[in-house]
Structure 1
Amino acid sequence: MEKYFNINYEFDKQSVFSSIDRQLQTSSPGYICVADGVILNTANRKPDYLEVVNGSMFSICDSSYVPLYLRWLYGIERKQYCGSEIFMDIIRQKKYRMFFMGTSQGTLQGLSYHLSQIDERINGMTFYELPFCNVEDFDYPGIARMIDEDGADIIWVALGAPKQEIFMSRLKPYLKRGVMIAVGAAFKFYSGTDVKRAPHWMVKMHLEFVYRIFSEPKKQLKRCGWIVYTLPGLLYREWRKKKLATNFIR
């Protein structure tokens, strides 16, 4: 695990899966954040939310730009590992019992159908539509009882950032075991709805944000505006941290 921009990242995929298995063996709950540009920006503006993000086992890097920043600042090579990728990697392992919650019933039904084509066991897993309410108003003890009775190893949460990370942090004290992973729009991507991830060439060219702006202009323009506004200060502070560390070593 490495700390950049005040966030605890795990970039190594094998370490991600090993950590999940170790956590499940301890029979204690934990959660993983999928840190995109929105989470990076919000966590560095809101200390309480940064505490939630770093209260996780670790964050995987959902931003294609963070690896670029690390190359510029530190001369190191790191790779993006986005929520939709870890979601399908774990689905294809056919290894865990899973619990899916968040988004709408229609999306969950489509998701159940399409994932069952990959792993037929998913037909017997739980897809639960969370009620639309403020993050403090969920029935966390009741939701935890449902998950514990289900016996799920992996609990997928799709509420959108920053709500889903706060949700996981509040649910964790009530759970007996399991690893929660917040995957944002991944449910919609694989449900057969009209919401799709950007084409591969746009992802490769770091232009996925452009695709998402055109897909959800009102929502994404506001998010991108905050990122652009705070990015210079974020990069400067990380550069200062590197410079101070270098001077200390000398």
Structure 2
Amino acid sequence: MQKYYFNIKYEFNKETVHKQIARQLKKKNSDYICVADGVILSIANRKPEYLKVVNEGMFSICDSGYVPLYIRWIHGIHYEQYCGSQIFMDIVSSKKYRMFFMGTSKETLDGLRQNLVKINPAVTDMTFLELPFRKVEEFDYEGIAKTIEADGADIIWVALGAPKQEIFMNFLKPHLRHGIMIAVGAAFKFFSGNEEKRAPNWMLDIHLEFAFRIMQAPKKQLARCAWIIITLPRLIYQEWKRNRKR
């Protein structure tokens, strides 16, 4: 059973995440999983309608290296980060599922396909769909759902950036009869070899990935970090108060 921390419905156990995916795929409906980093945590706790979207999915995995630290300080419970690029590569390399990849540019998708085929040759025959640049309310969700269902995909990867990709999955869900959507943000770019790179392991180990991202895209990332810094003290205090009441 997932637990709520900082108002987000998290699942931290990797084995449970994959068991839940397998279980859901046996059902005759669709669902989605969010990959909640510090940006999503900040936006969700400032915008109630977005928090509702995030928590209406199956659960969120934790793409923040700091949230497990805060939980350990407040609750004394040890959890580990499970980021979007990790679940993406775990599922691709497992070779268990037919997948559908959508979002970002054709150049990124082409690079992604080329690199993923080396890991999972079956990716050669899978669909990579570039989505037009438009407001999240303006997509043809019924048409997209028909394309996915004709493909027969089990896992639908969505890379539109937060908060757009989570809202996109929420809008698409009622039109899909099968499959699990997973929003993976920059993972397409990481593995395409054409654009952004992920921080080196030593930076990940000491929780400095945010610094690497700031160096990659200073204007974008500094604005995001500013909101996280503004939101975080209140969230930590509220979580501490909830724990005291328990």
TM range (shorter): over 0.9
CA distances 1:165-192 after superposition (whole Å, capped 9, x unpaired): 0000000000011000000000010011
2:171 is the alignment partner of 1:170: yes
Structure-2 residue corresponding to 1:238? 239
Structure-1 residue corresponding to 2:111? 110
Structure-2 residue corresponding to 1:76? 77
For the aligned residue pairs, the C-alpha RMSD in angstroms reads: 0.6
SS of 1:25 mapped into structure 2: coil
CA distance in 2 between counterparts of 1:37 and 1:184 reads 13
CA distance in 2 between counterparts of 1:80 and 1:170 reads 27
Contact in 1 for aligned 2:108/2:195 (Cα 8 Å): no
CA distance in 2 between counterparts of 1:191 and 1:222 reads 25
2:24 is the alignment partner of 1:23: yes
SS of 2:101 mapped into structure 1: strand
Structure-1 residue corresponding to 2:121? 120
- Map residues 62-73 of structure 1 onto 2, 5 A cutoff: 62-73=63-74
Q: State the shift of 1:193 in Å.
A: 1.1
- Any unmatched runs of 5+ in structure 2? none
Q: State the shift of 1:105 in Å.
A: 0.1
- Map residues 127-146 of structure 1 onto 2, 5 A cutoff: 127-146=128-147
Q: State the shift of 1:211 in Å.
A: 0.4
CA distances 1:96-154 after superposition (whole Å, capped 9, x unpaired): 00000000000000000100011111000000000000000111000000000000000
- 4+ aligned runs moved over 3 Å, structure 1: none
SS of 2:203 mapped into structure 1: helix
Q: Percent identity?
A: 64
Structure-2 residue corresponding to 1:36? 37
Q: State the shift of 1:194 in Å.
A: 3.6
Contact in 1 for aligned 2:109/2:188 (Cα 8 Å): yes
Structure-2 residue corresponding to 1:158? 159
Alignment-mate amino acid for residue 36 of structure 1: D
Structure-1 residue corresponding to 2:89? 88
CA distance in 2 between counterparts of 1:32 and 1:136 reads 20
CA distance in 1 between counterparts of 2:49 and 2:195 reads 35
SS of 1:11 mapped into structure 2: coil
Q: State the shift of 1:244 in Å.
A: 1.2
- Any unmatched runs of 5+ in structure 1? 246-250
TM-score of the pair, normalised by structure 2: 0.99
Q: State the shift of 1:155 in Å.
A: 0.1
CA distances 1:11-67 after superposition (whole Å, capped 9, x unpaired): 011110010011100121000000000010111100000000000000000000001
SS of 1:73 mapped into structure 2: helix
Q: How many residues align?
A: 245
